[in-house]
Structure 1
């Protein structure tokens, strides 16, 4: 029974993570399809307040993900004669969310049953005693750091912003941030049109 409850909670968290979607703002797709070469530039301000988001490993993984996704679309990196300039930003903010307490089957006792559940990648302990009623579990607040990865694509000749893609997700798992943003970069660039 404990296994089935854990499986249900895990499935619920996966569905929450899957709710994040890529947002895109762009010029006409046909116009974008003419660009075939890009180079990286750095933004003039640092946007992330978390050291773990601005490290060289995170940057390298994001750039590799973008390079792979662009190559699939027929767009290559060329630092000498680019058509496009690329830069990415990571913004973070502190957020609070009301979360229902984990439902379990009713029982009587002290310290029995599920002792924790996962939320936004963190293991949260449950403190309770006596009769536990799953139909009156109530809510509690979860505090987490929200991160938004933004990738900008700029015309190299006139500095016009041509395309912007972004994705927002919690960033509390410091150990997995590099992989998380690499995956998000691929998903964001997946929305970019193919070159002619």
Structure 2
């Protein structure tokens, strides 16, 4: 019976440990985003990004799909230039789980319990920045940032990149706060 009581708590920990994408955006409040209808990638900036060409291609294809889904078209004379840059860092997680009977306190976590287990795992956390630059003024008008756990598995990479790009660009165009009356 005690096992059944622990099951919801265990499920909560499993769900809480699932990887999620954290997304943020920032923008110039003085800019009217409505006139922007076309885009192009800023080759000079994208060429400097230090990731594999395959990963660049994944990111650019995902951005292209999302921008077109928002009604933008690619152009040789764009309203917006799209640039990207990335960061990554190694994440190390140490988890301790003690299950068993300890000093008469019953089941559950207890620092004095027997049967403890420690696991160490590592993963790579990556951050993708997407910059939207006014092509005429050459000024940054919007920046989106998404952070998530990366994978070396090719199929997972496609899903992760699409998810991060979709969530970042879901915040564009920015919703301007309503003026107070």
When the two structures are superposed, what TM-score results if normalisation uses the length of structure 2? 0.70
**What is the deviation of 1:184?**
0.4
Q: Which runs of 5+ in 2 are unaligned?
A: 102-106, 175-181
CA 1:182 to 1:141, structure 2 compared with 1: closer, same or farther past 3 Å?
same
* Local SS of the residue matching 1:149: strand
The higher relative CO (CA closer than 8 Å, separation ≥ 6) is in: 1
Residue 12, structure 1, aligned to residue 16, structure 2: yes
Residue 187, structure 1, aligned to residue 162, structure 2: no
Residues 29 and 193 in structure 1, CA contact (< 8 A), matched pair in contact too: no
Larger C-alpha radius of gyration, 1 or 2?
Answer: 2
**What is the deviation of 1:75?**
1.4
Residue 178, structure 1, aligned to residue 176, structure 2: no
Partner residue in 1 for 2:53: 55
**What is the deviation of 1:190?**
0.6
Partner residue in 2 for 1:161: 140
Which region of structure 1 is more displaced relative to structure 2, 152-161 or 132-141? 132-141
Matches within 5 A, 1:31-70: 31-42=32-43, 43=45, 45-48=48-51, 54-56=52-54, 58-70=55-67
Q: After the TM superposition, which parts of structure 1 deviate over 6 Å for at least 4 consecutive aligned residues?
A: none
Residues 37 and 76 in structure 1, CA contact (< 8 A), matched pair in contact too: yes
How far, CA to CA, are the matches of 1:38 and 1:81 in structure 2? 8
Residue 148, structure 1, aligned to residue 149, structure 2: no
Q: Which runs of 5+ in 1 are unaligned?
A: 49-53, 108-131
Kindly tell me the number of residue pairs found equivalent between the two proteins.
157
CA 1:84 to 1:90, structure 2 compared with 1: closer, same or farther past 3 Å?
same
How far, CA to CA, are the matches of 1:29 and 1:174 in structure 2? 41
Partner residue in 2 for 1:101: 96
How far, CA to CA, are the matches of 2:147 and 2:83 in structure 1? 17
Correspondence for 1:92 among 88, 108, 122: 88
